[in-house]
Chains A and B, each alone.
Chain A
Amino acid sequence: GNSVTQMEGPVTLSEEAFLTINCTYTATGYPSLFWYVQYPGEGLQLLLKATKADDKGSNKGFEATYRKETTSFHLEKGSVQVSDSAVYFCALDSSYKLIFGSGTRLLVRP
């Protein structure tokens, strides 16, 4: 069945460092791919999405490119801020539902 695998955290970075969080997927066909962010004590917020191969989703300095050949959707940001500290979830759209990875906690230190 369809699934999403994320790198395990926590990822600890200093402010202004470069961020990569790896995400790979297994799916039938070409599902839409998403990154969601969850701040402490809150629900999920959509960060960015891509709906077809080679699409690049971007928002708030974060980017991810839908790579069909490597079945990946890695999240990147050039310069992280303390306020980016949160848990990040990669997800795919499987018909009527979202399938999520297990999440990667990011901690950014001043």
Chain B
Amino acid sequence: ETGVTQSPTHLIKTRGQQVTLRCSSQSGHNTVSWYQQALGQGPQFIFQYYREEENGRGNFPPRFSGLQFPNYSSELNVNALELDDSALYLCASSLKKDEQFFGPGTRLTVL
């Protein structure tokens, strides 16, 4: 059984650019959640996708958007990057409301 994978591992962007992060969910899972973890903080919920539809959203601006594909993999897109967007972005997959399994994260640095 393959766990949750994320790509890329690390990414460096400049302010104003756009970025796309990718997540492959664990086999059999139909729900993907994205979290932002700033340095020294706990993860903050961005949004969740269930069967290709957004199922809930945290307190993040519209420039944070996402997609879920028919195979339940997912993308997180961030437009007009700001310095404060520098963080570890974590993806978690689950079977609806069951336990969430986290990937290793993508470390985004905005210069």
Contact = CB atoms under 8 A, between A and B. Distances in A.
A69 interface: no
A89 B58 CA distance: 19
Given A96-B48, A96-B55, A96-B56, A103 B41 contact: yes
Interface residues of A, number: 20
Interface stretch (A12-20, A38-46, A70-78): A38-46
A89 B42 contact: yes
A97 to B, nearest CB: 4
Interface in A4-28: 4
B92 to A, nearest CB: 8
B99 A96 contact: no
B56 A97 contact: yes
A68 B92 CA distance: 28
Given A43-B105, A44-B102, A97 B42 contact: no
B30 to A, nearest CB: 13
Contacts of A89: 42-43
A25 B15 CA distance: 36
B66 interface: no
16 contacts: A42-B105, A43-B4, A43-B104, A44-B90, A45-B102, A46-B99, A96-B33, A96-B48, A96-B55, A97-B45, A98-B35, A99-B45, A100-B42, A100-B43, A102-B41, A103-B41
What 4 pairs across the A-B complex have the smallest Cβ distances? A100-B42, A97-B45, A44-B102, A96-B56
Given A96-B48, A103-B42, 12 more contacts: A42-B104, A43-B103, A44-B43, A44-B102, A45-B102, A49-B99, A91-B42, A93-B97, A96-B33, A97-B33, A98-B35, A98-B100
